[in-house]
Amino acid sequence: MGKEIKTNAMRILDRNKIPYEILQYECDEFIDGLHTAEKTGAPVEQSFKTLVMQGKSRQYYVFVVPIAGEVDLKAAAKAVGEKSVEMIHVRDITAITGYVRGGCSPLGMKKQFPTIIHKTAADFDKIYISGGRIGTTIVVNPEALRKVVRGEYADII
């Protein structure tokens, strides 16, 4: 087998000496988090998706939420000190983050945006997040992730 191709997310974890595991799965196109968890065998309650939103101020924010959860826009806005937030358009994901839909990791975006991680992540010793490309999941300690993205925990679903 060939050498593993590192994503920006993996490079950031390596640079910060944060241990992680990589789960690969066969996938040619975007599938949602529930199907990803099913393919990798990851526990649904420990699997998180990365959502990018824009506030009224035009600032971008990253929200890391359970894959089965739905973001409460009012709670999300409050968590980042905005009047309101809304999802960015799918066509803008790559331009804003450098990632594609279904491969968006909270680590290694073009810029470091303020990041909010749903508070339930802190209940686990490891969580499953996108590895920075479709077909790759990273298993990482949530507190280590929070520190490296300089994020905060909040109830946003």
How does pLDDT run across 91-130, given as a tens digit for each residue? 999 999 999 888 899 999 999 999 999 999 999 999 999 9
CB atoms within 10 A of CB 157: 16
Structure confidence at residue 36 (pLDDT): 82
Report pLDDT for 30. Answer: 62
142 versus 133: which is more confidently predicted? 142
The predicted model scores a pTM of 0.93
Cβ atoms of 150 and 115 within 8 Å: the answer is: yes
What domains does the chain contain, in order, with CATH numbers? 25-154 (3.90.960.10)
Q: Are strands 85-87 and 136-140 parallel, antiparallel or unpaired?
A: unpaired
Tell me the pLDDT band of 2, cut-offs 50, 70 and 90. very low
The angle at the Cα of 130, spanning 109 to 6, to the nearest 5 degrees, equals 70
Spacing of C-alpha 44 from chain mean position: 14
Give the residue among 38, 16, 4 at the shortest CA–CA distance from 112.
Answer: 16
Digit-coded pLDDT (tens) for 40-81 = 888 999 999 999 999 999 999 999 999 999 999 999 999 999
